[in-house]
Amino acid sequence: MNLKSIHVAPFYTPKKIESVKSLCNLLRLTQHKCGHHLEQPQPKKICENQSNLWTNQASAQKIICENLRNLWTPICAITTKKINTFVEHLNTIEMKVLMVCLGNICRSPMADGLLRKKVKEEGLSVEVDSAGTGDWHVGQAPDDRMRETGKQFGVPIDDLRGRQFETSDFDRFDRIYVMDQSNYKNVVALARNNDDRDKVELILNVSQPGKDLEVPDPYFGGDEGFKNVFKMLDEATDIIIDEIKTINGKS
C-alpha cells in the first residue's frame, strides 16, 4: 500500500483537533522508520466548507481506520496499540447537538424532539438540547400547536422546557443548528472566537447545502405552518442522524 502522503483531516472541536494532532505525532514517530511523508492537519481549510464538515470528519475517520491498523502493525507494535485505542475512541465519540430558534417554543423544540427520538431509535451516543435567543418563554412548555403537530406525527415534545441560549453553550455543544438568519446573527454575536462561530449552521443547509434557506417562524401563522416546519425538520434531522452514524462507523 502506497502511503507516501496521508491526509489526516482533523475533527471539528478543538479537543478533537488536538486528538488528531496527537495521532499525527504518533505517526511521525514512525515516519523515519518507514520513510513516508505525513501531511499536517489543516483544521481551518476543512471548517471553511460547513456543509461538508461532517462528511470530511467521516472520511478522515475512514482513512484512519482503513490505513493505520494494517500499515503500522509490523513497524511498531506499541504505536499500533495506541492507534487502535485512538480509533476505538473515535468510534465512541459522543456528539452534542443544540437546536436554536427565537422563542424556543416552536421550531427548536420540534427539531430537538425529532433528533432525540431518532438518536434513541438508532442507539446513538448523542446529547440533544434546544434553546431560544430570546427569553420570553424561559421555563415554558412548547407552543400548543407545535405540541399537537408533534403528537400527530408520533414525536411528543410536551416535556421540553424553554431556555435562553448562553455563551457557555459554545463549550457544551459540538454543533449548533439555527433555524433562520436572525437566529444565526444573534448566536454568532455571542461567539468568542472562530471555533465558536464555526459550530453554528443554518439547519436547512444540512438538507439543502449552500442555499442558506430558513425554517419559517410559524408562531403568527396557521396550522399548515407547523406541519411545514415539522416536514422540514424531519428531513434535516434524518440527514444529521445519517452523518452521525457515518462518523461513528455505524452505517
DSSP secondary structure of 24-51: HHHHHHHHHHHT-EEPPP-HHHHHH-GG
For position 112 contacting ligand 4NP by CB under 6 A, the verdict is no
What burial letters (b/e) apply to 86-113, b meaning 16+ CB within 10 Å?
A: bbeebeebebbbbbbbbbbbbbbbbbbb
Rounded Cα–Cα distance for residues 134 and 162 (Å): 10
Nearer to ligand 4NP, 143 or 198 (CB): 143
| Catalytic annotation present for 169 | no
For position 10 contacting ligand 4NP by CB under 6 A, the verdict is no
| Catalytic annotation present for 107 | yes
Kindly state the smallest distance separating residue 137's Cβ from ligand 4NP, in Å. Answer: 6
What is the residue whose three cell numbers read 442555499?
211
Kindly state the smallest distance separating residue 172's Cβ from ligand 4NP, in Å. Answer: 20
For position 147 contacting ligand 4NP by CB under 6 A, the verdict is no
Interaction residues for ligand 4NP, span 189-248 (CB under 6 A)? 217, 219
The only residue of 107, 117, 147, 199 in contact with ligand 4NP, by rule CB under 6 A: 107
For position 145 contacting ligand 4NP by CB under 6 A, the verdict is no
For position 150 contacting ligand 4NP by CB under 6 A, the verdict is no
Helix 223-247 and helix 53-71: axis angle, to 10°?
20
Q: How many CB atoms lie within 10 A of CB 170?
A: 20
For position 26 contacting ligand 4NP by CB under 6 A, the verdict is no
Q: Considering all CA atoms of the chain, what is the largest pairwise distance in Å, rounded to the nearest integer?
A: 68
Kindly state the smallest distance separating residue 179's Cβ from ligand 4NP, in Å. Answer: 6
Stretch that binds ligand 4NP, among 11-19, 49-57, 96-104, 120-128 (CB under 6 A): 96-104
C-alpha cell at 43: 483544521
Write phi, then psi, for 94 (nearest 5 degrees).
Answer: -90, 130
Nearer to ligand 4NP, 84 or 207 (CB): 207
Q: Of 107, 116, 145, 175, which is the active-site residue?
A: 107
Rounded Cα–Cα distance for residues 144 and 158 (Å): 9
Q: Which residues make up the interface to ligand 4NP (CB under 6 A)?
A: 101-107, 132, 136, 217, 219
Q: Which residues are catalytic?
A: 101, 107, 217
